Structure 1
């Protein structure tokens, strides 16, 4: 049995560690340990969605989740689809700015760890800071671009924020293209 220690790790790392460990084996059991209920529930939900058998044990305020992968588990491995993600801020959600920045960084990083990639990611308004000034996001977006995801930033927004010579990933686009990409997508996601 492979054991993974995710104690002290924050979202999305426990689920990514689990996914990566399962990817390394064709069949067998892994055990991942976490120290919070949210991580436990996320891993259980992941195991359920992937049709893996799992068993959870709680001991001393820690959770130990054993996941068994067999050759008969049905797992879809889609490489890409017609989903478009639109990002209009360098923060995710309303409320505390520092939390919002952490969530957005986690969202973009998590995209690099999933199999089913979006067709394109459209950045506008303060979202263009993620394609220019926020280096950790640029690195993750470059990884997605290398895997075929189209990265597009609103040209008017780049100009408004004086980022013309700071764009580090993808290319600029216009509102017409932003609208038509969303209209032709089978799904549009806004984090």
Structure 2
């Protein structure tokens, strides 16, 4: 059985996420993902390789056809994901990375969306400095944060930061916290990752 995904025109990380969704439901067979750029091609190939599946790629009219083969071996052939349940994310900016502000916004939106597609979730996401703008009115990621909160992820925004940006009355997801609680959450987690 072959499933096909037309991911042409999709922005990062959607081609990878859509391919993974199909692979996760497929017991055996193959998936062909069609992409129209080198970055998407390389990302889908890396996904397949990380799951220990055979991959071949052909190019036609500027499009890449990535064939991923999944065999039923009586057990899972994919590598088990790293358990990240005991992890806290500290998001300290409304953008990801340094440099172009608009690019940073796009990257952060993609990162938050990708979190919703990766399980298990972190146990808490802490927002400080301009990161609190992601949890307040006008944020493009409220839907994703609410989804994770509904699934048990603790979403907390720094009260001092909300006050600084005059956003305390515009908080749309999660709760307000203080620096003591932020440090406590970070210290009690096995892993803390700052974004």
TM-score bracket relative to the smaller structure? over 0.9
* More divergent stretch after superposition (58-67 vs 84-93): 58-67
The CA distance in 2 between the partners of 1:3 and 1:102, in whole Å, is 27
State the SS of the aligned residue for 1:165.
helix
The CA distance in 1 between the partners of 2:168 and 2:11, in whole Å, is 35
Deviating above 4 A after TM superposition, structure 1's stretches of 4 or more consecutive aligned residues are 77-80
Contact 2:133 2:139 in 1 (8 A): no
Unmatched runs of 5 consecutive residues or more in structure 1: none
Matches within 5 A, 1:66-105: 66-72=67-73, 73-76=77-80, 81-105=85-109
1:157 paired residue among 136, 156, 161: 161
Aligned-pair CA distance for 1:179: 1.3
The CA distance in 2 between the partners of 1:89 and 1:42, in whole Å, is 26
RMSD, aligned α-carbons:
1.6
State the SS of the aligned residue for 1:3.
strand
Q: Is 2:130 aligned against 1:126?
A: yes
Structure 2 partner of 1:41:
42
Structure 1 partner of 2:61:
60
The CA distance in 1 between the partners of 2:132 and 2:119, in whole Å, is 25
State the SS of the aligned residue for 1:7.
coil
Aligned-pair CA distance for 1:100: 0.8
Aligned-pair CA distance for 1:26: 2.0
Contact 1:79 1:117 in 2 (8 A): no
The CA distance in 2 between the partners of 1:74 and 1:15, in whole Å, is 15
Matches within 5 A, 1:139-154: 139-154=143-158
Query: How many residues get paired?
Result: 191
Structure 1 partner of 2:192:
188
Aligned-pair CA distance for 1:83: 1.2
TM-score of the two chains, using structure 1 as the length reference? 0.93
The CA distance in 2 between the partners of 1:12 and 1:185, in whole Å, is 27
